[in-house]
A and B are shown apart, each in its own frame.
Chain A
Amino acid sequence: MRRLPILTGILVAALALALAAGPAAAQTLKVGMVTDMGGVDDKSFNQGSWEGIVRAIRELGIHGRYLESQQQSDYARNILEFIEQDYDLIVTVGFLLGDATLHYAKQFPDQKFAIVDYSYDPPVENIRDILFATDEAAFLAGYLAAGMTQTGVVGTFGGIALPTVTIFMDGFEAGVKYYNQVKGTNVQVLGWNAKTEQGLFAGNFESTDDGRRLAEALMDEGADIIMPVAGPVGLGAAAAAQERGAMIIGVDSDWYLTAPEFGDVILTSVVKKMDQAVFDVIQSVADGTFTGGLYWGTLAMGAVDIAPFHEFEDDVPDWLKEELEQVRQGIISGEIDIDAILYS
């Protein structure tokens, strides 16, 4: 009898967790997604990837489901759950799932996988790795920020120093540096230095309060435009910017649309079209044209870009818009070498 309350408690908890997962049904192509921590509504890679599956559910009539990982030990369990249920494609989201995905891809060579934000060298036959040249889009954001700052200081911070995070910060810093080179200005970037690989990080992707404090610290040191590369943590930065009158550059998705309450401070967003990439991979499974190896999303193919300026449309001067267009062409044609600028 004494155990009863614990059991009930555990059951209630299990029920709540089960409810947190997506809906189940249908007998068609089955696509399962394993999220990283931060939840499927993280306004970031989990959400972006899930939107690709949602689109496939709508347009291709597939059956899609996700399992949320609350901690790193959930990755393997969630992947295995989909394997056991005979899913046709398992999409794993995030750098941190790289090892677990590879492990099961080797153990189950007939199971198709796609992983967002990670790649394998050499490529694995049954994993499609989706990576983005995010620095190309972030470069545009950096150039824009350098042209828009009033204080001559812009800032950025990350969640955890993972390659998929720092690539945003690299591009951003390079864009500012390029602006300085072209214009002879001295706009400073706080929070990231590609040469020393030192920067400002929250240490997690959950604590919006941390995001607020980091943004405040950057503003205290003079930054008036901030690009938080930390999933939902960045929304805390947006709240601080709103209070103190700074601008925010969103990441992953167009924050003006996904977090409309902060619309008045969102200058633009560095968009990674994960939904398109995931949709493309699902389509290839449906067509029977699935192959393993790298899906490399670039600015040229429109897989990464900066979002419209929305409420700042009138504040961004025309000369800057024209220059951004030239910079874009320069990146696409290869005239602008981001790494060369970054490490110059």
Chain B
Amino acid sequence: MSQLQPVGPVSADLLEEAAPVVEPKRWGPVVASVLVALAIAVLFIRVVPDGVVTTFRMAGGQGAAARVAPWVIPSRPGLVVLALFALAMAVWAYRAPRRANLALGLALLSFVGAFLIWAAAGKSLNLLAMLQSTLVRAVPLTLAALSGVMCERSGVINIAIEGMMLTAAFGAVLGTTLSGGSLWIGLLVAMLTGLLMAWVHGVLSIKYKVDQIVSGTVINILAVGLTSYLSGRFLQDPAFNWLNRAGTFAPVKIPVLNRIPVIGPLLFEGNFFFYLTIALVIGLSILLFRTRFGLRVRAVGEHPRAADTLGVNVYLMRYAAVLLGGVLAGLGGAYFTIGSVGRFDEQMTAGRGFIGLAAMIFGNWTPAGAFGASLLFGFADSLQTRLQILGIPIPSEFLLMAPYIVTIVVISGLVGRATPPAADGQPYEK
């Protein structure tokens, strides 16, 4: 890292002398892009032998006949092109400081591409299926993050999303099997379960002004204990095994559109919950930022006393937001059972609720941002799975860290400071 040292002073000098330059140069993204190019050269181009090709199959997941021929890329030339692209981005970042972040983003993207070409050199990788899996993996994270956005925008921290999702996952299975196999009733029960857990959180943290972290923790512990007990007592018992056979929503195929090569299988032939998530991201963006209700929720989260003075019922707004958040967490929970594996097992949400909270912060407390962050996590997740299958010489433990490393890099490098709602976590007392 020693070559970085001169950069600071140089940029300062430039700023002082280059009076006609309107926009100050931003050296961070420029240097980072150059480093990306260097990294591609040192880590990948150097080690890939000449004449090797990388095959990206575009066959997708469902085993349908490939609609698109595989992309066969000569590994080495491909890497050289990507390294040059990263250099070009460095130049762009230098020339157009306002676009520096975008340039760095694209340079990082070329690094990911180079990584894939290197990892699959001499082998083949089903790229389309990897992208499909990215979208599905983003679904539970997005729903958890949306739940967090709703609650925290109103000023109530909700770390109980994990517990709400777990109970809702359980509720979805029971609702489905007890109603004789109706997945829609399962979905409804999951939403109601989430709502009920959120109501507990609301009563504790809004009415009784309990520390919101404590209330959330209590709900998480309660959720694990309750579902583990009921699952062990009933769902896993051979006598009641039928209770745990809920099945899943069939993949949704949108006619005509799903025939478009690559885009069709990727976007128009997917998990039911994926479409639900897209709709919710759009819907909540409108609700929060384009309606009177949304304005009030945000006002209550930023400055509850001012809102109160203007006649907004702070408690009512917070209850509404938290309950809505609970319904969203409920949908997220339903994904794990009736959207994925069709049965309930202990602690099956495995911490996704917390990663969803990270996505919420990363996405700067907006629905669209949270979705973007979840996509990035989903991509890191499905990328590391493929890398493990390709058997690249990096220990699996390190690859499993990939999503979190991506978070740290992107938050510190690209996004800048995330700002929570001003009254986040503070109980309101009249």
Task: Find the B residue at minimum CB distance from A261.
Answer: B245
**Which B residues touch A206, using CB under 8 A?**
345-348, 350
Partner of A40, one of B62, B232, B391: B232
Is the pair A209, B341 in contact by a Cβ cutoff of 8 Å?
Answer: yes
B133 interface hit (Cβ, 8 Å) = yes
B284 interface hit (Cβ, 8 Å) = no
**Which B residues touch A4, using CB under 8 A?**
208
A254 interface hit (Cβ, 8 Å) = no
8 A Cβ contacts from A186-213 to B: 190-191, 193, 196, 198-201, 203-204, 206-213
Is the pair B346, A16 in contact by a Cβ cutoff of 8 Å?
Answer: no
| Count, chain B residues at interface, CB 8 A | 65
Task: Find the A residue at minimum CB distance from B200.
Answer: A9
* Chain A residues touching B, majority SS: helix
Is the pair B245, A38 in contact by a Cβ cutoff of 8 Å?
Answer: no
Is the pair B204, A217 in contact by a Cβ cutoff of 8 Å?
Answer: no
Is the pair B350, A207 in contact by a Cβ cutoff of 8 Å?
Answer: yes
Is the pair A217, B129 in contact by a Cβ cutoff of 8 Å?
Answer: yes
A68 interface hit (Cβ, 8 Å) = yes
A340 interface hit (Cβ, 8 Å) = no
Q: State whether A2 and B208 are in contact (beta carbons under 8 Å apart), knowing that A40-B232, A198-B391, A220-B129 are contacts in the complex.
A: yes
**Which A residues touch B231, using CB under 8 A?**
39, 41
**Which A residues touch B396, using CB under 8 A?**
161, 198-201, 203
* A190 CA / B340 CA spacing, docked (Å): 23
Is the pair A19, B229 in contact by a Cβ cutoff of 8 Å?
Answer: yes
* A42 CA / B125 CA spacing, docked (Å): 33
| Residue picked from B126, B133, B225, B386, most chain A C-beta under 10 Å | B225
Is the pair B137, A213 in contact by a Cβ cutoff of 8 Å?
Answer: yes
Is the pair A200, B385 in contact by a Cβ cutoff of 8 Å?
Answer: yes
Is the pair A236, B236 in contact by a Cβ cutoff of 8 Å?
Answer: no
Q: State whether A20 and B126 are in contact (beta carbons under 8 Å apart), knowing that A13-B222, A204-B350, A206-B347 are contacts in the complex.
A: no
* A102 CA / B284 CA spacing, docked (Å): 53
Is the pair A235, B203 in contact by a Cβ cutoff of 8 Å?
Answer: no
B136 interface hit (Cβ, 8 Å) = yes
* A50 CA / B244 CA spacing, docked (Å): 21
**Which B residues touch A199, using CB under 8 A?**
388, 391, 396
Binding site for A on B (CB under 8 A): 59-63, 124-126, 129-130, 133, 136-137, 140, 200, 203-204, 208-210, 214-215, 218-219, 221-222, 224-226, 228-229, 231-232, 236, 241, 244-245, 248, 335-336, 340-343, 345-350, 352, 381-382, 385-386, 388-389, 391-397, 400
Q: List 5 A-B contacts (CB under 8 A).
A: A161-B396, A198-B391, A200-B388, A235-B341, A244-B61
In the complex, besides A5-B210, A201-B388, A219-B61, 9 extra interface pairs with C-beta distance below 8 angstroms are A17-B229, A155-B389, A191-B388, A196-B391, A204-B350, A212-B340, A219-B63, A220-B59, A220-B129
